[in-house]
Chains A and B, each alone.
Chain A
Amino acid sequence: MNYVNAVLQGVLLGGLYALFACGLSLIFGVMRIINLAHGDLAVLGAFLVWSLTTHLGAGPFVALIAALPVMLIVGYLLHRTVLARSLRGGPLTPLLTTFGLAIVIQNALLQAYSPDVRSLGGAAGGIATGSWRLSDQLSVSYLGALILATAVLVLGGLHLLLRRTAFGREMRATAQDADTAALVGVPSQSVYAKATAIAVATATLAGVFLAVRSTFDASSGPTQLIFAFEAVVIGGLGSLWGTLWGGMVLGVAQTIGATIDPQYSILAGHLVFLIVLASPRGRSLFTYRREATA
């Protein structure tokens, strides 16, 4: 029964990893940028919500509603001011740019908020601690279910956006051939900026759920980036639904590893990631189809 519970908790944890991963996957799928600042942008969003919660007394989910438009604008401006220029410098430049951006965000947060570890769990009330008890050894936390449901809704929403809307068609066309998209009237930089805005907003969502679920500090970003990156690679680069499955596989690997021995939790996730990388299919357990580009 321990292992059944481990799988269940891993699936729920996978929802959080999928939320972290979908923005990373979207930016890679559309712009071919691996955004090394993705985890730090998520933590930046969490700090913004923490500030709103602390200073205005709002609950974290209410504060999140106010923070999301702000982070959408942050993402849009990030592309217009930084990423657009670095894209013109070739494929390596955006990688270095986002690496530098990650360091800037971490140090700015350190300066503004100190190295103290924080959590939004207390402010979230019963949802952070309550659960449905299925049996003596099986339970589903409210928060885990909420995170998984949110991940499915976000991924489903992005899927519909890409497949069913004119903007989605423009995004997919730009992802496939930005030069030709411009020749049919699509302003590729505007499409890129909107994709970055969406990615930063989803990162904020993930950052806030992380902050409610556990703790965070100014240097939490890189760890989340690694988990998000592993979920993206396991699920298939650029595949939105693949990130959900990738996140679940990573989560289940970690919880099963923790069931064997608590110190194997993170290691088990990394091992699954490495096995996928080395597998004959290579770099994806599930699919190579890219919703962002296909």
Chain B
Amino acid sequence: MTLLRATGLGARHGLLQAVRGVSFDVAEGEVLALIGANGAGKTTLLRTLAGAHPLSEGTVEYDGGSLAGVAAHERVRRGIALVPEGRRLFPELTVEENLLVAGHRARPGPWNLAAVLDAFPTLRPLRGRLASRLSGGQQQATAIARALMTNPRLLLIDEVSLGLSPKAVEDVYANLAVLRDSDATVVLVEQDLGRALATADRVICLLEGRIVLDTPTAGLTRDEVVTAYFGFTSAGHE
């Protein structure tokens, strides 16, 4: 069943057209990886889906209804949650307060403070610590846990491993495995191609705001990905 359908999406940053005519579907329970070079439009696309960046063209349908004119906080109530680039925790709130803020207006569902702390046991001893005093990996775990507190049907995660130590990346992907096991629908942006392809069911590659590859990860060759990612083959520019 299709949970989200984007049709002809466009988004701008001033004069710059960051996303151009992007169309794709996300099926319920699917893990979709968005890859692409810096400036390809991945973050803008994710923020557009979350309602944090305005659409310049196109439509987004979610659970059979249009998201036109639906504010970001209202999309959260409908089940769309974004883990933003750079984590964007509330620095002067404790870990527990960061989680509770998200849980206050949450949809009904399995995730609450106890469930989240069970799924992310590393956060339990950090409950009273200010978010500004967490390591990068702890911040990313808190950001994912905070998004889960809203009981999302569609979880959007931007730059999963950016700026994290290898150990922190391991921890964060262990957390993502928990989500995968719970049949969550996830769209993740990842610079680490190996991780992205190993985690996702399907991959979409963006180049200069356009989709240049949209395919299941099973059977995908590294050459196909590299060609789409850089826009040229080993034989030269396309």
Contact = CB atoms under 8 A, between A and B. Distances in A.
B236 to A, nearest CB: 42
Interface string B69-82: 00111101100011
B88 interface: yes
Interface string B146-161: 1101100000000000
Contacts, number: 74
Most chain A beta-carbon neighbours within 10 Å: one of B51, B82, B92, B146: B92
A169 B101 contact: yes
A37 B84 CA distance: 37
Contact of B72 (A166, A169, A183, A294): A183
Contacts of B91: 176
Contacts of A294: 92
Given A169-B97, A179-B52, A180-B84, A185 B102 contact: yes
B134 interface: no
Interface string A279-294: 0000000000000011
B76 A183 contact: yes
B54 to A, nearest CB: 13
A181 interface: yes
A164 to B, nearest CB: 11
A184 interface: yes
Interface residues of A, number: 19
A179 B72 CA distance: 9
Most chain A beta-carbon neighbours within 10 Å: one of B72, B74, B82: B72
Contacts of B82: 183
Main secondary structure of the interface of A (DSSP, over half): helix
Contacts of A169: 93, 97, 100-101, 104
A188 interface: yes
B133 interface: no
A293 B76 contact: no
Given A182-B52, A183-B52, A183-B84, A176 B93 contact: yes
Given A169-B101, A180-B90, A185 B52 contact: no
A184 B146 contact: yes
Interface string B39-69: 0000000000011100000000000000000
Nearest to B147: A184
Nearest to A180: B88
Given A166-B100, A182-B72, A186-B73, A176 B105 contact: no
Nearest to B102: A184
Contacts of B71: 182, 187
28 contacts: A166-B104, A169-B97, A170-B104, A172-B97, A173-B90, A173-B93, A176-B92, A176-B93, A177-B88, A179-B52, A180-B84, A181-B90, A182-B51, A182-B73, A183-B50, A183-B52, A183-B72, A183-B76, A183-B84, A184-B101, A184-B150, A185-B102, A185-B106, A185-B150, A186-B73, A186-B105, A187-B71, A187-B74
Interface of B: 50-52, 71-74, 76-77, 81-82, 84, 88, 90-93, 97-98, 100-102, 104-106, 146-147, 149-150
Given A183-B82, A184-B81, A187-B71, 16 more contacts: A166-B104, A170-B101, A176-B90, A176-B91, A182-B51, A183-B50, A183-B72, A183-B76, A183-B81, A184-B76, A185-B77, A185-B104, A186-B73, A186-B101, A186-B104, A186-B105
The 5 closest A-B pairs by CB, nearest first: A185-B76, A184-B102, A294-B92, A182-B72, A180-B88
